[in-house]
Chain A
Amino acid sequence: NAGVTQTPKFQVLKTGQSMTLQCAQDMNHNSMYWYRQDPGMGLRLIYYSASEGTTDKGEVPNGYNVSRLNKREFSLRLESAAPSQTSVYFCASSEFPWTGEGTGELFFGEGSRLTVL
């Protein structure tokens, strides 16, 4: 059972380049999320998708776009990378806990380490 799979795991970009982080989950979860982790900042929510066909901004959406391609896949795009976007990116998925559909636990991918020079 793969859970949440992110690609690539490592990437180095030059300022101004673009790239897409891919994420797929095989747990049939409705909700998916993108977080970034920076030293001393914890995990901050970039974008999330409550269900297929919907996306919403989180705490730090500037400089990013997302696509919920289908129920399984949720991609994060950097159109013009900046050094401030150097970070570790985590994709996650969950069920909706309030109606008893799940525990609400977020299942995380292994992370993608992005460096922007």
Chain B
Amino acid sequence: AQKVTQAQTEISVVEKEDVTLDCVYETRDTTYYLFWYKQPPSGELVFLIRRNSFDEQNEISGRYSWNFQKSTSSFNFTITASQVVDSAVYFCALSERGGGATNKLIFGTGTLLAVQP
């Protein structure tokens, strides 16, 4: 069965600190996608990144970086030099190739990040 675990319920940092959000997943499929979404206080869900199971290269986008390690089934998200605007709930999600002719995502429970000025 597929599962996504985000063990950190809430994290509080001071602006300019680096912060890492953890994501551990379970799947029996060899082909899958991993996602991160951001949900700011306004409530919309914003897509951040997709990574497929065959691409373990780390990715960097500005202050954001992602570390995908199949050996530990983890897809961690790091924000460098955090800013108040980064305050949000962050969700990690998984979709499996074996999930049929669709791309339904299984979400973790989310991590609430609060960045204090």
* A interface residue numbers (CB < 8 A to B): 30-31, 33, 35, 40-45, 48-51, 56, 58-59, 88, 90, 94-98, 103-108, 110-111
Interface residue tally of chain B, by bracket? 20 to 34
Determine the chain A residues whose CB is within 8 A of the CB of B93 once the complex forms: 43
B43 contacts A111, CB within 8 Å? yes
The answer to whether B87 has its CB under 8 Å from any CB of chain A is no
B9 contacts A43, CB within 8 Å? no
Provide the main secondary structure of the chain B interface: loop
Determine the chain A residues whose CB is within 8 A of the CB of B64 once the complex forms: none
The verdict on A111 contacting B109 (CB below 8 Å), with A50-B100, A96-B103 known, is no
A33 contacts B35, CB within 8 Å? no
6 closest cross-chain pairs (CB), A and B:
A50-B102, A42-B109, A108-B45, A43-B107, A42-B107, A31-B102
Other A-B pairs, 19, CB within 8 Å; known A42-B107, A42-B109, A51-B102: A42-B6, A42-B91, A45-B104, A50-B101, A51-B101, A88-B43, A95-B103, A97-B50, A97-B95, A97-B103, A98-B97, A98-B103, A104-B103, A105-B47, A105-B50, A106-B45, A106-B105, A111-B43, A111-B44
A45 — nearest CB in chain B belongs to which residue?
A: B104
